[in-house]
């Protein structure tokens, strides 16, 4: 596969991408005996003879590492607050990124790899790979509280999936009675164990992850790491394949059943469009979870490309350069993590500055063409809920279900202003948020390429005054109606 030389050198651990670009311009890199000085030159790392200063580079190899993450480290490649990251602990030549997250105050097993496909399988809830935690909590939970944790706790408008919960031990701490409980999750929402325990009145004092799928923390001490064996990598792959949500074939004489269960067995493409502030992301995630489908936030793809363009100081009007960036980027859009070229940008892309940059990037026809092609590939097999601003009109004009969400401008502005990810570290005035949203709406609805507009056959839902659950229920009713046609 042809790839830009600087990416090949970076993946091989020769140098960072920027340093690799300097090597190329200086004439230190050759491909099949010919010196290369032109940035953007492509090569096949598996077939071509690529050399730096006359020495042939090694082919990039997949690497899989188990780390005992200590408390006080951020699970990301870089941190804008300059806190220590897990990559400060793992000094290797390969360009690795964390698989999922462990929050700053938590510790335990963290996997790192440069295998994007396996990372996606291990983090996406569709594959249901188990994560086991040991939580020391305040007080001693009663059996009823343990049962509540096991059944699921309503968090942020959505009930957690069933979990395996056991009481391991009880004891006395500096602040009174404490207990150690084991919690095995099949999903991985942000700070989930802490929020669940808080909800039943037993805040977490200390949290450690001891297992991811078949891989256990074992005897690794805080800060230590090791390479996984080939057998362990195969076990991880098998765990993801074994736990993937499978849909049973319909019996020739089906029994009476809930319509929702029938919908779950269809490989539908569900398109959810609408302007910002209508709750597309929250609703799409909730609907996908209820149907056992994959959820894809296409806006995150534009945001990630915009983030990379800003980081590389590429002018936002440089259409060809940004389109090339979008085409070459290793882009992973997971349920809880967004990666671009190995950088975890999940939080970095949810800022007002990237909002504006993403809007500018989304107006570039060549960039949209590249990302639309990638979006179509993601949804080609169905069983997907894809949300954005042109899913039902451009990406999947023949989608099985098309929904367009809207809300009164004042309510959309209030929701946006209340979103911590949008507000960043400070509170943005409501009037300023409304002005920004109106400007974004004008730009999106008047752009020449893929303007924001409802598909003619989309089901319009006004979310003004409705709760998340009410909107999700209406979308599911639309899904059922379309299924029956």
Please tell me the distance from the alpha carbon of residue 382 to that of residue 265, in angstroms, as a whole number. Answer: 11
Phi first, then psi: what are they for 403, rounded to 5°? Answer: -130, 135
Residue 114, pLDDT score: 79
Same domain, residue pair 443 and 295? yes
Domain end, chosen from 35, 56, 77, is at 56
- Please check whether residue 249 lies inside any domain of the structure: no
Q: What token pair was written down for 190? A: 């942000």
Residue 253 resides in a domain: no
pLDDT in tens, 343-355: 888 888 988 889 8
Question: How is 160-197 classified by DSSP, letter by letter?
Answer: PPP-EEEEEEEEEETTEEEEEEEEEESS--TTHHHHHH
98, 191: one domain: yes
As given in the structure block, the two tokens for residue 158 are 């959505």
Rounded Cα distance, 73 and 71, in Å: 6
pLDDT band at 30 (very low <50, low <70, confident <90, very high): very high
Q: What is the pLDDT of residues 209-263, one digit of tens each?
A: 999 999 999 999 999 999 999 999 988 888 877 655 444 444 444 444 444 444 4
Q: CB-side exposure of 440: number of CA atoms within 13 Å? A: 25
For the chain, what is the total number of helices (H) and then of strands (E)?
A: 16, 25
213/281 same-domain check:
no
Q: Could you list the residue range(s) of the whole structural domain that residue 46 is in?
A: 3-56
Look at 174 and 387; give whichever has higher pLDDT.
387
pLDDT at 16 over 80: no
Q: Is residue 248 part of a domain?
A: no
Cα separation, 118 vs 333, whole angstroms:
13
Check residue 264 and give its pLDDT: 43
**Greatest CA separation for the chain:** 72
Q: How many domains does the chain have?
A: 3
Same domain, 152 and 131: yes
pLDDT of residue 228: 95
Q: Say yes or no: 95 and 231 in one domain.
A: yes
Per-residue model confidence (pLDDT) at position 417? 65
Per the CB < 8 A criterion, the answer to whether 405 and 279 are in contact is yes
Buried b (16+ CB within 10 A) or exposed e, 9-18: bbbbbbeeee
Q: Which DSSP letter does residue 468 get?
A: H
pLDDT band at 1 (very low <50, low <70, confident <90, very high): low
Give the HSE-up count for residue 450: Cα atoms under 13 Å, Cβ half-sphere.
25
| Residues recognised as catalytic | 103
Per-residue pLDDT band at 7 (split at 50, 70, 90): confident
pLDDT digits (tens, 9 = 90+) for 124-173: 776 778 999 999 999 999 999 999 999 999 988 888 989 999 999 998 87
Do 52 and 119 lie in one domain? The reply is no
Tell me the percentage of the chain whose pLDDT exceeds 90: 40
The region that residue 201 occupies, defined by phi over 0 for left and psi between -120 and 50 for alpha, beta otherwise, is left
Residue 247 covered by a domain: no
Average pLDDT over the chain, rounded to an integer: 84
Whether residue 245 lies inside any domain: the answer is no
205 and 340 share one domain: no
Say yes or no: 231 and 332 in one domain: no
- The CATH code of the domain that includes 285 is 3.40.50.300
Looking at residue 221, what is its pLDDT? 95
What pLDDT was estimated at residue 265? Answer: 41
By DSSP bridging, strand 34-36 and strand 29-31 are: antiparallel
Higher-pLDDT residue of 407 and 93 is: 407
Same-domain check for residues 324 and 412:
yes
pLDDT of residue 242: 64
The pLDDT of 26-34, averaged and rounded, is 91
Q: Which CATH number do you get for residue 118? A: 3.30.2350.10
Condensed to tens digits (0 to 9), the pLDDT of residues 56-83 reads 987 767 889 999 999 999 998 777 788 8
Same domain, 217 and 269: no
pLDDT digits (tens, 9 = 90+) for 174-213: 778 999 999 999 887 889 999 999 999 999 999 999 999 9
Question: Looking at residues 310-316, what average pLDDT do you find?
Answer: 93
Residue 52 bridge partners (DSSP) = 29, 55
The reply to whether 452 falls in a domain is: yes
Tens-place pLDDT, residues 424-476:
444 556 676 667 777 767 766 666 666 778 888 889 998 888 888 888 899 99
CATH code at position 41: 3.10.290.10
Residue 447: predicted pLDDT: 64
Residues 352 and 314 in one domain: yes
Contacts of 59 (CB under 8 A, 6+ apart): 12, 45, 46
Element (H, E) at 138: strand 131-138
CA nearest to 162, candidates 135, 133, 185, 179: 185
Q: Is residue 257 in some structural domain?
A: no
Q: Does any domain span residue 184?
A: yes
Question: Does 422 lie in the same domain as 319?
Answer: yes
Q: For residues 430 and 412, give the distance between their C-alpha atoms in angstroms, rounded to a whole number.
A: 10
Cβ atoms within 10 Å, residue 410: 12
The per-residue pLDDT for range 390-424, each reduced to its tens digit, is: 899 999 998 889 999 988 877 777 776 665 554 44
Region 113-130: mean pLDDT is 78
pLDDT tens per residue, range 320-342: 999 999 988 888 887 677 888 87
Helices (H), 248-297: 259-263, 280-291
Which range, 109-118, 385-394, 450-459, 473-482, is most confident?
385-394
Mean pLDDT of the 267-287 span: 88
């Amino acid at each position: 596969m042809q790839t830009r030389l600087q990416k090949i050198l970076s993946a091989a651990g020769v140098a960072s991408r920027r340093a690799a670009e300097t090597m190329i311009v200086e004439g230190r890199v050759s491909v099949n005996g010919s010196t290369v000085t032109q940035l953007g030159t492509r090569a096949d790392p598996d077939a071509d003879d690529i050399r730096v200063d006359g020495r042939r580079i090694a082919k990039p190899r997949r690497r899989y590492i188990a780390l005992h993450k200590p408390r006080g480290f951020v699970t990301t490649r870089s941190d804008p607050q300059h806190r220590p990251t897990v990559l400060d602990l793992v000094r290797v030549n390969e360009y690795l990124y964390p698989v999922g997250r462990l929050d700053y105050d938590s510790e335990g097993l963290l996997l790192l790899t440069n295998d994007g496909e396996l990372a996606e399988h291990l983090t996406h809830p569709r594959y249901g790979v188990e994560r086991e935690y040991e939580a020391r909590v305040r007080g001693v939970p009663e059996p009823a509280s343990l049962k509540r944790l096991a059944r699921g706790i309503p968090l942020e408008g959505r009930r957690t999936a069933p979990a395996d919960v056991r009481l391991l031990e009880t004891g006395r701490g500096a602040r009174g009675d404490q207990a150690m409980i084991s919690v095995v999750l099949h999903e991985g929402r942000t700070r989930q164990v802490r929020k669940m325990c808080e909800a039943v009145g037993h805040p977490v004092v200390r949290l450690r992850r001891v297992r991811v799928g078949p891989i256990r923390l074992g005897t690794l001490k805080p800060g230590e790491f090791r390479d996984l064996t080939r057998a362990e990598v195969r076990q991880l792959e098998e765990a993801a394949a074994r736990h993937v949500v499978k849909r049973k074939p319909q019996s020739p004489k089906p029994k009476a059943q809930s319509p929702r269960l029938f919908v779950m067995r269809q490989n539908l493409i569900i398109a959810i469009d609408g302007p910002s502030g209508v709750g597309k992301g929250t609703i799409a995630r909730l609907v996908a979870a209820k149907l056992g489908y994959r959820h894809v936030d296409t806006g995150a793809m534009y945001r990630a490309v915009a983030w990379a363009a800003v980081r590389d100081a590429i002018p936002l009007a440089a259409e060809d350069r940004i389109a090339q960036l979008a085409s070459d980027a290793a882009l992973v859009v997971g349920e809880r993590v967004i990666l671009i070229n190995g950088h975890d940008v999940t939080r970095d892309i949810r800022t007002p500055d990237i909002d504006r940059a993403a809007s500018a990037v989304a107006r570039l026809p060549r960039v949209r063409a590249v990302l639309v092609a990638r979006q179509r590939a993601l949804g080609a097999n169905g069983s997907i809920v894809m949300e954005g601003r042109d899913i039902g009109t451009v990406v999947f004009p023949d989608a099985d279900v098309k929904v367009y969400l809207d809300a009164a401008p004042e309510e959309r502005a209030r929701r946006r202003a209340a979103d911590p990810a949008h507000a960043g570290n400070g509170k943005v005035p409501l009037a300023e948020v409304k002005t920004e949203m109106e400007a974004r709406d004008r730009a999106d609805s008047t752009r020449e390429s893929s303007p924001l507009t409802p598909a003619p056959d989309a089901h319009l839902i006004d979310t003004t005054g409705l709760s998340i659950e009410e909107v999700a229920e209406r979308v599911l009713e639309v899904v059922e109606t379309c299924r029956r046609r």
